[in-house]
Structure formats: C-alpha cells, structure tokens
Amino acid sequence: MASENPALQGPELSSGCLETTQARSDASGKILRNHILTSISDSEFGQLRPYLESVELTYHQNLFGNNGEVDHAYFLNRGMISLVVTTADGRSVEVGVVGKEGAVGTGLAVDLRKSPYRAIVQIPGEGVRIHSEQMARLRESTPGFELLLNRFASVQGMQVAQLAACNRLHEIEQRLARWILMCHDRTDSDLLPMTHEFFAQMLGAGRPSVTLAAGALQKAGIIRYTRGKVSILNRQALEAAACECYRVIRQYNGDTALPENSADPKAA
C-alpha cells in the first residue's frame, strides 16, 4: 500500500497564513492533518483551537440538515465527502468531492448557512468541526483562515463546473476512471471501498452501464473489483482511460495541496 507524501504543499501564501512546521492538534490532543488548519498562522489557529470539536465520520452520514441548513464547517483529517445534488424524484449525482485538502461548509466564511447540495460521507474517517456561530464571531480576527476557506471554495466551484460538463459530455467509462482518480488523490490507500450501486448514484448513470464500464477497466488490468472494493492496479493507465476533465481539474490541485502531476500521489 502506498504511503502519503508529506512534502506535497500548496503555493506559498502571505505572512498571515504561512504553514507552520510544528504538528498541530485539536483541543483533545488529536493530530490534525487538514491542509487548511495546518496552513493558517499560529495566532489564528490558537483562536480557533478551543472551538474545534473532534468528530468521527461514518459511512453515508449526512453532514447538513434536511433543508440544507449548515450549522458546522467540517475539516477532514482522513476520509472523503461527496457533494451530491438530489432531484425530487430521488435521483442523485455527485458534483464534488472533499478530503483533507479542504473543508465542507465553506459558505459559512461569508455567512451563507444554506447549501444546494448534500454533503455525504463516502469514505469513513475523522476530523474536526466548528460551529457557525463561532466562525462568525472569529471572522474579523482570522482573515487568513477566511482567505483559505474562500480560496478553496473558488477552486471547488471550478471543479463543480467541470464535473457538470463531464457528466453531460463524456462516456461512462471515462467518467468512472476520472472519478476513481479523484477519490485516489484524496485517500491514503490504493484500495477504495466502492460498490457498483454507489458508482451509479455518484455518476448519475444506470447500474448496468457502470458495471460494464468497471468490467472494461478490470479486463484491461487497470483496476480490480471485489466485494464492494476497488483496487487501483495501474494509476498511469487509469489516467489514460479518464476524460480530459481529470487533467483540467488537476491543474487547480496545487491550490489545495493535492498532487498536480501524473505521478503516483502517494509515492514517497
């Protein structure tokens, strides 16, 4: 299993939000790995730390209220969140993913407390959260934190726009390869817990189509699918099988401390 490369960092920021070289922890003493929380200044982190609440993230947990009400912003240390749009007839499609590179509930940085999508835990993990009221109270004294949240929200908006085009214009096999790559970028493992039903929901496609697409990737020796898990066997070939949207999205990865090149993102 590949290991995380701690040398991967985002671009240099202003002195107000320079990354610290010391390990940071939440109020309970748990080490933080979230890029935003490890990139803000020591003074701003010190203001936030008392309000960071440790949370365990369980499979299919919905982080927002039933009416899209956003009470907390979440910062993952590990795991992955899918941003999902669901129609009135129950159909759904994924419009974004978030791991330890960013945050869920970034609208709170500008006092937006409603979300047009659901935030669903697709790969279990853990992290911290902070209540909307505390974020509002600290907004003026933590400009670097607000900058990074807004910066991530902007990059995420580009991702949402690209995925909208992808879901409309590209073949299911290309989209599946693109989606697996995006998940791989945000995890510490070449083994992803995924089912065909889950693939179909996230890609807005029928399960038979997804099964055929996954079968083609497996036959080509790119992935191995067994018992609801996908093993990535050949990252380079998976990139070649993906549509151009993955390469477009990857151009913005440096702004979130994700890998920008085609090398294995977990290689030491």
Are residue 174 and residue 157 in the same domain, yes or no? no
The enclosing H or E element of 247 equals helix 244-250
- List the CATH number of the domain containing 38: 2.60.120.10
Task: Give DSSP secondary structure letters for 132-173.
Answer: HHHHHHHTTT-HHHHHHHHHHHHHHHHHHHHHHHHHHHS-HH
Dihedral over Cα of 161, 129, 34, 77: its sign: negative
Are residue 40 and residue 139 in the same domain, yes or no? yes
pLDDT digits (tens, 9 = 90+) for 17-60: 444 446 899 988 999 999 999 999 999 999 999 999 999 999 88
> Does residue 209 contact residue 201 with C-beta atoms inside 8 Å?
no
Instruction: Name the average pLDDT for the chain.
Output: 83
Are residue 47 and residue 144 in the same domain, yes or no? yes
Are residue 150 and residue 246 in the same domain, yes or no? no
Are residue 108 and residue 47 in the same domain, yes or no? yes
- List the CATH number of the domain containing 188: 1.10.10.10
Q: Which two tokens stand for residue 196?
A: 């065909």
pLDDT for the residue 3: 35
pLDDT digits (tens, 9 = 90+) for 79-127: 999 898 888 887 777 888 899 999 999 999 999 999 888 899 988 999 9
Are residue 151 and residue 213 in the same domain, yes or no? no
The answer to whether residue 2 sits within a structural domain is no
Flag whether pLDDT at 170 surpasses 90. no
The single-letter code of the amino acid at 169 is L
Tally of structural domains, the chain = 2
The answer to whether residue 10 sits within a structural domain is no
Confidence of residue 268 (pLDDT cuts 50, 70, 90): very low
